[in-house]
Amino acid sequence: MAKAILFLEDGTSFFGESLSTVGESAGEAVFNTAMTGYQEVLTDPSYAGQIVCMTYPLIGNYGVNDEDVESDKVHVKGFVVKEFCRFHSNYRATKSLIEYLDENNIMAIEGIDTRALTRHLRVKGAMKAIISTEDFDPASLKKKLEKVPSMEGADWVKNVTTKEKYVWKAEKGSPLYKVAAVDCGIKLNILRILARLGCEVHVFPASATAEDIEAIKPDGIFISNGPGDPAAAKYIPETVKKLVGKYPIFGICLGHQILGLALGGSTYKLKFGHHGANHPVKDLLDNRIGITSQNHGFCVDMKSLGEDEVEMIDINLNDQTLEGLRHKKYPILSFQHHPEAAPGPRDAQYLFDHFINLMQEHKKT
């Protein structure tokens, strides 16, 4: 272990100790309020470009395993905790979290006051930060952060999307539906759930054209979660625009924001985003409240969408932001939170059934 600093762009410093990986790593500092699910957080492509602070004080008590990953690698730029657990215990564990972070060369720092850091980010907002074991000079670190691009205006999708199209087979026999998924940073549990519901998922790179997608004659279109500013990835909503009205479309997280843009709306950056597995959301259609998993820094502005065409169907009960929308004419719906629940509660997993119903009804016509 080595002495380490977490330096924020506003000049605030936090000192702690690093794990085996030394050096420097910079990104946008955000906090996550989940008590568990750290392996899913680390491997969630939506965290690309970010340094994640876990608000729960002891992280790593159940180790890591080979099954709970959400992609093929760790995406976070850095990991900040109060204390790493040295003695993990779980029958599924294959190694400790510390070993996992070291093997993936992730800059991780412990021993800082994560409550103070979280409060600072809530008050001042998410901001650029750098973890270093080499440089402790504020003036020098500030200059380095000036060269780090802001998350606002940054297209991170191109860094995490699949390079080639691939197919995820449906479970148990012949597929009931063929789904074209636009991969903006798709999580594996989304694919697992769609496969369980009888979908054969054709996963396309985010750069795929409408013609590429229509060539497979899909029963429905899925727009996935992903990192960065949705408005910076202009090519995706332009593609989705060409598919509106032709197929049922379902979006999650960044996919929800992409749909908002494709339908003529706009997005804006949240002060510190929503990151965690305990966010209450109200389903306005069924008048039910669920606790949801969330990970995003941008939001669709409901006022920018035409009320005659689009309606809000889910609302965040913490800050009243838009959490779900559907089109009044076309079979289109999307949600800002993560109904695939990885990590997080399964309260909202039923929303995948809405997509299945849309495809079922569309096939009839």
**Domain parsing of the chain, residue ranges:** 2-146, 157-364
What is the Cα–Cα distance from 254 to 104, expressed in whole angstroms? Answer: 26
pLDDT in tens, 194-224: 999 999 999 999 999 999 999 999 999 999 9
Is the domain spanning 157-364 CATH 3.40.50.1100? The answer is: no
Per-residue confidence (pLDDT) for residue 173, from 0 to 100: 83
pLDDT digits (tens, 9 = 90+) for 309-324: 999 999 999 999 999 9
Q: For residue 222, what pLDDT is reported?
A: 98
Q: Where are the alpha helices (DSSP H) in the chain?
A: 38-42, 97-103, 114-124, 138-146, 157-160, 188-196, 210-214, 235-241, 254-262, 351-364
Q: Which of 53, 184, 253, 299 is catalytic?
A: 253
Q: How far is CA 240 from the centre of its chain?
A: 20
pLDDT band, residue 82 (cuts 50/70/90):
very high
Catalytic annotation present for 296? no
Do the domains spanning 2-146 and 157-364 agree at the CATH topology level? no
Q: Which of 279, 296, 338, 354 is catalytic?
A: 338
The CATH code belonging to domain 2-146 is: 3.50.30.20
> What is the rounded CA–CA span in Å between residue 50 and residue 60?
20
Close Cβ partners of 91 (under 8 Å, ≥ 6 residues apart) = none
Q: What is the pLDDT of residue 172?
A: 85
Threshold 0.85, pTM exceeds: yes
Tokens of 127: 């901001």
Share the mean pLDDT of the chain.
Answer: 97
Residue 184 a catalytic site member:
no
What stretches of 88-218 show up as alpha helix (H) in DSSP? 97-103, 114-124, 138-146, 157-160, 188-196, 210-214
- Condensed to tens digits (0 to 9), the pLDDT of residues 24-53 reads 999 999 999 999 999 999 999 999 999 999
Q: Give the mean pLDDT of 256-271.
A: 98
Q: Is 340 a catalytic residue?
A: yes
State the average pLDDT over residues 60-86. Answer: 97
